[in-house]
Amino acid sequence: MTSSSFTTGSSSLAGEDLLMQFREEGYLIVRNFAPEELTERMRRISLADVAALREPIEYEADVQYPGSPESLDAPGGRTCRRLRQALSRDPVFSDWVSYPPLVQILQRLLGSPVSCPLAHHNCVMTKHPRYSSETGWHRDLRFWNYEQPELVNVWLALGDEFPENGCLKLLPGTHRMTFEADRLDEKRFLRTDHPANQPLLEKTVYAELRRGDILLFHAQTFHAATRNFGDETKYSAVFTFHGPQNRPIPGSKSASFPELILPEVID
């Protein structure tokens, strides 16, 4: 790890500060990070693929979260919740995950070379104003299987994200905590009615992002989002990454897809 700084757009952070904030809080926002040309291309592809319902898609009706349409045939049932397998949709997504300033941050957090699993995230999350649903407090790793819990998600805003349109909310520091089983429900969502969870919930942080900003968060950090109460669909490109010391557990869903190994960036 180095203590040099990286600069992209208007963002500049010292390497050590970056690492410290991420390690302490389990998340980090870097403003004005993605080149506008890549952001615009990803957004354009996403809008076209949603309009054409180009599979593979996760529909709002598939998740059965609060607010989801009851079935695929109910009104709004075929509302896209995420365009899966983004890396197979257009080369712009591989341009994005191998964007050298991004790889440089990931190398500092995870070591080198960095791998991008195709089995998890690797998607464009979409949040429709009329038919979107509530995502409860969860850790992404609840159903992922890796030798170690060290994975970092990168969430790129393809448009502005704020509480009204269902931006992500996070519980700082929860990536370092252990939780007794009774603090979670049967689907491993954090129980919002449990007294022991209240002090954490009071520290909720809203990840308000402008188009081109990125949110990095640890796959053990609890996060949630409301439905979209605005009037435009929200689009976010989301990928997960791990370092060379971590591997998916053989036989698990995490091992059922290959992984993209990112070209190393020399600091």
Q: Are 81 and 69 in contact (CB under 8 A)?
A: no
Q: How far is the CB of 179 from ligand AKG (least distance, A)?
A: 17
Largest Cα–Cα distance of the chain, in whole Å? 54
**The two structure tokens encoding residue 132:** 């979107």
Within 134-163, the residues that bind ligand AKG by CB under 6 A are 135, 140
Please, which residue, 136 or 248, has the CB nearer to ligand AKG? Answer: 136
Please, which residue, 8 or 226, has the CB nearer to ligand AKG? Answer: 226
Contacts of 84 (CB under 8 A, 6+ apart): 56, 57, 58, 122, 123
**The two structure tokens encoding residue 114:** 């960095």
Cis-peptide into 56, omega within 30 deg: yes
Q: How far is the CB of 261 from ligand AKG (least distance, A)?
A: 24
Within 90-129, the residues that bind ligand AKG by CB under 6 A are 125, 127
Contacts of 204 (CB under 8 A, 6+ apart): 169, 170, 171
Please, which residue, 127 or 218, has the CB nearer to ligand AKG? Answer: 127
Per-residue binding letters, 223-252, with ligand AKG (x by CB under 6 A) = x-x---------------------------
Please, which residue, 216 or 265, has the CB nearer to ligand AKG? Answer: 216
Cβ of 11: how many Cβ atoms within 10 Å? 17
Residues that bind ligand AKG (CB under 6 A): 125, 127, 135, 140, 166, 223, 225
